[in-house]
Amino acid sequence: MNIPLSEIVYNPSKKVVRHTVRKDINREFISFDIEGWDEVSKLSKKVLTFQGRDFAFTGWNSDRNEIYFSRPLSQNILVATVKK
């Protein structure tokens, strides 16, 4: 099936993530590839929502250009919504 390029919509605010649950430490993680420090510096200040759950910045691996966010399994992290 060929889809015309004019029908493909790119959404820069969506990322393909890897989801990991670590019951032994009561946390779940999401991680994804990034372009480098500039992207890390922007995303590290954000709370990401994945499947209705909020994740906070945990760290990044500069060798693999991968960023990590986590949350406790037993409770939600505390977040506030900034209104403009």
Average pLDDT over residues 16-37: 94
For residues 59 and 83, is the Cβ–Cβ distance under 8 A? no
pLDDT at 15 > cutoff 80: yes
How many CB atoms sit inside 10 A of residue 65's CB? 15
Q: What is the pLDDT of residues 52-83, one digit of tens each?
A: 888 999 999 999 999 999 999 988 777 777 77
Helix spans in 1-84 (H): 37-43
pLDDT at 28: 96
pLDDT at 13: 77
